[in-house]
């Protein structure tokens, strides 16, 4: 069970907000993390603490295919993002990078700064006011996570050849 402070972001948080394109020449997670959410919340990267949790509205991660986005979030020590819904490329990228995503409507049930408990494995989310279970993760993606991501899956497949 994870326990972390909540940072709230609204609907349609796009990848240009998560990590602006001008930093995409960098691949160093530390550099990418420093600019996470910069256009919308310039102080975020400085104020966020390891273990904090992002709670967002719908369509989180819409826009570009940049894998720099989940990398930037992970670099800040954020282990999980909870949103009403996720854009599809971001969804794939997050699982490939082992950033846990939970699809649940808890946006209105939590306050920014509140500490909540989350179990990414079962999808259980405990807030001060409610206990919510996130939408189940497709079984193939659970397998990917248990294998340690897509690259491990690939290594295993290559060994089988």
Partner 1 sequence: MGMTATEKILASHAGRDRVEPGEIIEARIDLALANDITAPLALEEFEKAGANSVFDPERVALVLDHFTPNKDIISAENCKIIREFAKKYGIEHFYEGGACGIEHALLPEQGLVVPGDVVVGADSHTCTYGALGAFSTGVGSTDLTYAMVMGSLWFKVPESMKFVCKGKWQPWATGKDLILHIIGMIGVEGARYQAMEFEGEAIEDLSMDSRLSAANMAIEAGAKNGIFRVDRKTLEYLSGRAKREYKVYESDPDARYSKVFEIDASAIGLQVALPFLPSNVKNVEEVRGVSIDQAVIGSCTNGRLEDLEIAAKILQGKKVAKHVRCIIIPATPDIYHTALKRGYFDTYLDAGCIISPPTCGPCLGGHMGVLARGERAVSTTNRNFLGRMGHPESEVCLAGAAVAAASAIKGEIAHPREVV
Candidates 58, 109, 145, 147; binder of partner 1 (CB under 8 A) is 58
Q: Which of 104, 44, 117, 103 is nearest to 77 (CA)?
A: 44
147 binds partner 1 (CB under 8 A): no
Cα separation, 140 vs 128, whole angstroms: 32
Q: Which is nearer to partner 1, 29 or 51 (CB)?
A: 29
- DSSP states of 137-161: PPHHHHHHHHHTSHHHHHHHHHHH-
> Shortest Cβ distance from residue 41 to partner 1 (Å)?
10
Residue count, binding to partner 1 (CB under 8 A): 42
Q: What does the block give as tokens for 64? A: 């570009």
- Smallest separation (angstroms) from partner 1 to the CB of 71: 8
Per DSSP, helices labelled H in 55-129 are 68-75, 88-96
Tokens of 107: 């946006």
Candidates 1-9, 43-51, 62-70, 108-116: pick the segment binding partner 1 (CB under 8 A): 62-70
- 65 in Cβ contact with 46 (< 8 Å): no
Give the interface segment with partner 1, choosing from 2-10, 110-118, 119-127, 153-161 (CB under 8 A): 153-161
E strands along the chain, which residues?
Answer: 2-9, 53-56, 80-83, 100-103, 115-119, 124-126, 131-133
Give the x-and-dash track for 11-50 against partner 1 (CB under 8 A): -x-x-xx--xxx-xxxx----------xxx----------
| Closest approach of partner 1 to the CB of residue 93, in Å | 4
- Which positions touch partner 1 (CB under 8 A)? 12, 14, 16-17, 20-22, 24-27, 38-40, 58-59, 62-68, 71, 85, 87-89, 92-93, 96-97, 138, 140, 149-151, 153-155, 157-158
């Amino acid at each position: 069970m994870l326990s972390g402070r909540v940072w709230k972001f609204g609907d349609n948080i796009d990848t240009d907000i998560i990590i602006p394109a001008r930093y995409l020449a960098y691949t160093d997670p530390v550099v990418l993390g420093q600019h996470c959410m910069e256009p919308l919340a310039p102080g975020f990267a400085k104020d966020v603490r390891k273990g904090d949790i992002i709670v967002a509205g719908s369509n989180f991660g819409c826009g570009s295919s940049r894998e720099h986005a989940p990398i930037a979030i992970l670099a800040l020590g954020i282990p999980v993002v909870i949103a009403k819904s996720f854009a599809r490329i971001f969804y794939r990228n997050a699982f490939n990078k082992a950033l846990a995503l939970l699809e649940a409507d808890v946006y209105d049930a939590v306050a920014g700064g509140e500490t909540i408990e989350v179990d990414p494995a079962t999808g259980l989310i405990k807030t001060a006011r409610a206990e919510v279970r996130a939408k189940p993760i497709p079984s193939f993606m659970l397998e990917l996570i248990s294998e340690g991501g897509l690259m491990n899956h690939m290594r295993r497949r290559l060994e089988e050849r």
